[in-house]
Chain A
Amino acid sequence: MPQKRMLLTSGLSLTLRNWPAFVWTYVFNLGLALIFALPLHQQIASITAHSLASQRLTGAFDLSTMGEVFLKLSQGPGPAMRSSYFSTPFYFVLYFLIVPGTLFCYQTGASATLFTLLQSGFVHFWRFVRITLISLVVTAPILAGLNALRNRWSDHIDLNNVGLPAFLLNLAGLILIGLVVAFLRVYFDLVQVYTVQLGLIQFPADPGRKGRPERQIRRTFKPAWRTLRRNFFRLYLTFVFLTLLGLAAVVVTARIAMHSLAQPRVWPMFLLAQLGLSLMLLTRFWQRGAETCLALENQIHVPAVAPSATIVPQEPLVEAAPTHGEQQEAQAVPDITAAEPSTESPTPLEELPTSEI
């Protein structure tokens, strides 16, 4: 019986031990934003660098002067503002690669080098795309229904309340929707964790079987649901707490950074903003870490098929992390083959190396 640990601490421990995953993601987040903002910066500089009018943005922060800059940018011929939006889709695609890589490293103890992250990301890419599509299909009608309810709630508030109470009641409606979204996110996060876990299993060859079972994400829906149901408050509260922590980090640092707006230097504002954004990102990886810990406590059950099913890291990934320690870790992944094939009951996976979780 696996021992239950506190998800917050074990998740943080896992996240920090695999810190390169978070750091690389942050680097991509920041780097892409900066790269795609470069044309915008050049265009703004062409307007402001040699103009005395821009002094209102040097030792002060005049909103109308800022407004005029952006008005000129929007009216100008250059596509700088539009092109800066592309950082989001690029980051989005990279995130599709990094998340499975991160979950792989979390579960196997493989070193979270960029190569490992991306290679595992490519292996799982289409599985994660499928999960995302399914999550959208599931989430969209739920959110549409909730939004319709919220509109009715909002109309009801509008009829009966004004001022601060109306604001708080509307906010309560939004928070409820946020909690439902968080629930859905937690579930699909677990699906992703189990998808990576499933990919670690070496299923024996079975000529009668269609497809490759380690890639069948539908096999993860039930385990994810079972784990979420059995550990609901433990996981959900952890998830919500970390979400709030991340948002609070952004809000607090943004609020402090705002006070640097009028200063004739940029670095304090930059550092504060980056601190908040990196903390927000860290909490997301922390959530993944907590979910992984839980998934390792409640490992996926595979219906045993003849002659055996084995969970091992995929071969290329072990090769991708060829340090001595990692090879040892890879070898340490136990053979979880059921001694006797059975079609009556699922075969539990044994715990992965506890030294890594």
Chain B
Amino acid sequence: MNSVPFHLYLNAFRPQSTFTSETHFTGGIRDSEENDNYPNEKLGSIDISTISADGYGDLTGSMHFTAPDDGNMQDHTVAEVSLPHPLAPGATVTFRLAFHDKFPLSIARNGYKRDFIMGGQWYPKPGLFWHGAWNCHQYHSTTEFFSDFGTFNVHLTLPQRYVVGASGVPTSNRVNPDGTKTLGFYGEDIGDFAFAASPHFTVTDDTYASSMGPVKVHVLALACHPAAGPRYRDIILKTLAEFDRRFGPYPYKIVTVIDPEPGSEIGGMEYPTLFTGGTSWYEPSYGTEITAEHEFGHQYWYGMVATNEFEDAWLDEGINSYTEVNVLSSILGRNTSVLNRPYANAGDYELQRLAYIWTPDFDPVTHWAFKFRNSRSYTAVTYSKTATLLATLESIIGRDTMDEAMRTYFMKYRFTHPTTEDFLRTIEQVAVQRGRTTVLPTSSPCAGLTGCVADVPPVNSSLRPYFDQAVYGTQVLDYTVDSVSASPVQWWVPEPKDKHAREQIPYLSTVYLRRKGDFVLPVTVEVVFEDGTRLREHWDGIDRWRKFSYERRSKVTSVEIDPDHSVLLDVDLFNNSYTEESNGIPARKLTNIWASAQQFIAQLASWIV
């Protein structure tokens, strides 16, 4: 090893950086600099004044910026230190750095807003030596982070009026004579260290008795959000219980919830044992709960199962979105986990699916995060498609099998850095063990794939075609009931008008199903007849269409593909069914809303006259 790279994330907040360029041209998931000027208050920087290593001396002169992703030498978010002589395998080295940070007015995930400060990605963080090479990507508009586990012993000196939350557990609190105080924090087996401070935090504490001992739930909510503290606390206590039961124990002694300053770009961000929520002084939906649950979930999928968020973003954000919809469904109800009102409702499952079908097929979920077409595709695919495809997978292998696979994955890979194949093979193995999938004769599941470095023995199961299409591919799943018809077998004989007489004559009912998309998935079809008979048929979905015919003394009244509503990946649920009976209410409802809105707009516009 001849060199060591460091992330210098705060340098991203400059107009020359790749991060700013990407947000300007293709949008970002946080504040996007769309204007043609870059405000001074949004400038951030991190300067390393000296760097030395024990046994190597002063290395400051050997430090230089690199740009491994796009060659932008003005980026400055990765610096490399060349070692005068190689570091031998198994040897250790200690670096000593002096650096100075300048936090920007918040743009993404850190910085300040009014008298609030979020210290995230604030120190030179070494890259990760992984699979025989350094993995140290530049900071991009959509990507998050990837780092090794470590031990942090941090002391922060701030004005005494500030209340501080930080990664790890608090260890000391010393009041200084100059009106400041110095707080100590210590964290083990965590991949990052972040802190937040505000003079307006109010504290709401509670304790959760986990299977590994008590966990302190430490909520720092802003005084301007008086309802937020109890709301954060309640949802985190319930979420801890759900995660403990479903996936495994939360091993740390504390989880700190930070209520970020309104108007900052800091909400909804995860750090080890600490995360930021997102709420408002008026929050009639479950937005507060959804954000808190989602960010807590990262403690498992980013914090402990520390996947590479640059190259396998779906393993963190996507799996976390899937567990989010499941956990919130348990706590708040499947169809009401976003909004639960007597007059309207919304569920997280369906809203995730809606976000996916908006932009379903530009990128596969396995794309590197900064190689997506744009931030919209990144969000739709990484978060929402993953949640949707895993929910669909759940229906294929069964809820219990999926839960066990997720638990196995978490327990096996916590405190490691697994890959896509590690995850998929874990699912295959559990599904095979439970008899929910079969092993195919051909061997390598990695055929045709690059970078397949999983340490799980290959299982080429019958789930592979699903993974190839849903995970590695961009195929779109869309099945439709193409046509339904029913007529007397003796069609040349006039149909009797009497209902009872009609029930005595045989009808030939024909149902045509069609696969409109290029995603092939076996589906179940439910056919309902006038006499109440329900038949379930199965179609492998390989051909483009399939015909079902029935000769019965009853007509077909409705046909539904996926009657259990489990194949959420289908991009059009409306064409999945056909019923003879017409229902005009939905169209009238929506048209009424639309027309009333148009009337209102027209009346407002006429104020010009």
Spell out A's residues near B (CB within 8 Å). 29-30, 32-34, 36-37, 40-41, 44-45, 47-55, 57-58, 60-72, 84-85, 87-88, 91-92, 95-96, 99, 128, 132, 135-136, 158-160, 162-167, 185, 250, 258-262, 264-266, 269-270, 273-274, 277, 280-281, 284
Q: Which residues of B contact A280 (CB under 8 A)?
A: 600, 603
* Residues B342-358 near A (CB distance < 8 A): 342-347, 350-351, 353-354, 357-358
Compute the total of residue contacts between A and B using a CB distance below 8 Å: 197
Interface residue? B311 (CB, 8 A): no
A159 touches B114 (CB 8 A): yes
A259 touches B599 (CB 8 A): no
A58 and B609 contact, Cβ closer than 8 Å, known pairs A87-B602, A277-B599 = no
Spell out B's residues near A (CB within 8 Å). 114, 222, 224-225, 261-263, 281-282, 335, 338-339, 342-347, 350-351, 353-354, 357-358, 558, 560, 572-580, 582-596, 598-603, 605-609
A50 touches B579 (CB 8 A): yes
Q: Which residues of A contact B588 (CB under 8 A)?
A: 41, 266
A164 and B224 contact, Cβ closer than 8 Å, known pairs A33-B599, A270-B592 = yes
Task: Enumerate the 8 nearest inter-chain pairs by beta-carbon distance, A residue then B residue, closest first.
Answer: A163-B224, A64-B350, A57-B586, A45-B587, A52-B577, A63-B346, A41-B591, A163-B281
Q: Which residues of B contact A92 (CB under 8 A)?
A: 602, 605-606, 608-609
Instruction: Specify which of B224, B343, B560 lies most central, judged by the most chain A CB atoms within 10 Å of its CB.
Output: B343
Q: Which residues of A contact B342 (CB under 8 A)?
A: 259, 262
A30 and B587 contact, Cβ closer than 8 Å, known pairs A65-B350, A99-B609, A269-B592 = no
B525 shortest CB reach to chain A, Å: 12
Q: How far is the CA of A132 from the CA of B12 in the complex (A)?
A: 50
Q: How far is the CA of A99 from the CA of B606 in the complex (A)?
A: 10
A52 and B558 contact, Cβ closer than 8 Å, known pairs A163-B225, A259-B342 = yes
Q: Quick one: closest B residue to A35, CB to CB?
A: B595
B171 shortest CB reach to chain A, Å: 31
A52 touches B262 (CB 8 A): no
Partner of A260, one of B225, B343, B345, B584: B343
Q: Which residues of A contact B262 (CB under 8 A)?
A: 162-163, 166
Q: Which residues of B contact A264 (CB under 8 A)?
A: 585
B560 touches A52 (CB 8 A): yes
Q: Which residues of B contact A281 (CB under 8 A)?
A: 603
B596 touches A63 (CB 8 A): no
Can you name 10 extra interface pairs (CB under 8 A) apart from A58-B586, A61-B345?
A33-B602, A44-B591, A49-B586, A51-B576, A62-B345, A62-B347, A63-B346, A88-B605, A164-B281, A260-B343
Q: How far is the CA of A95 from the CA of B601 in the complex (A)?
A: 13
Instruction: Specify which of B222, B224, B602, B603 lies most central, judged by the most chain A CB atoms within 10 Å of its CB.
Output: B602
Q: Which residues of A contact B558 (CB under 8 A)?
A: 52
A96 touches B609 (CB 8 A): yes
A95 touches B598 (CB 8 A): no
A95 touches B606 (CB 8 A): yes
B98 shortest CB reach to chain A, Å: 33
A63 shortest CB reach to chain B, Å: 4
Q: How far is the CA of A61 from the CA of B335 in the complex (A)?
A: 11
B604 shortest CB reach to chain A, Å: 9
Q: Which residues of A contact B560 (CB under 8 A)?
A: 52
Q: How far is the CA of A275 from the CA of B447 in the complex (A)?
A: 66
B599 touches A66 (CB 8 A): no
Q: How far is the CA of A62 from the CA of B222 in the complex (A)?
A: 33
Partner of A63, one of B282, B339, B586: B339
Partner of B335, one of A52, A62, A164: A62
Partner of A136, one of B222, B338, B587, B608: B608
A261 touches B599 (CB 8 A): no
A58 touches B351 (CB 8 A): no
B463 shortest CB reach to chain A, Å: 27
Q: How far is the CA of A85 from the CA of B602 in the complex (A)?
A: 9
Q: Which residues of B contact A40 (CB under 8 A)?
A: 591, 594
A277 and B587 contact, Cβ closer than 8 Å, known pairs A47-B574, A71-B354 = no
A223 shortest CB reach to chain B, Å: 20
B20 shortest CB reach to chain A, Å: 22
Q: How far is the CA of A67 from the CA of B342 in the complex (A)?
A: 19
Q: How far is the CA of A136 from the CA of B222 in the complex (A)?
A: 44
Q: How far is the CA of A164 from the CA of B605 in the complex (A)?
A: 30
Q: Quick one: closest B residue to A51, CB to CB?
A: B574
A216 shortest CB reach to chain B, Å: 20
A63 touches B344 (CB 8 A): yes
A98 shortest CB reach to chain B, Å: 9
Q: How far is the CA of A60 from the CA of B336 in the complex (A)?
A: 12
A162 and B595 contact, Cβ closer than 8 Å, known pairs A57-B589, A68-B573, A92-B602 = no
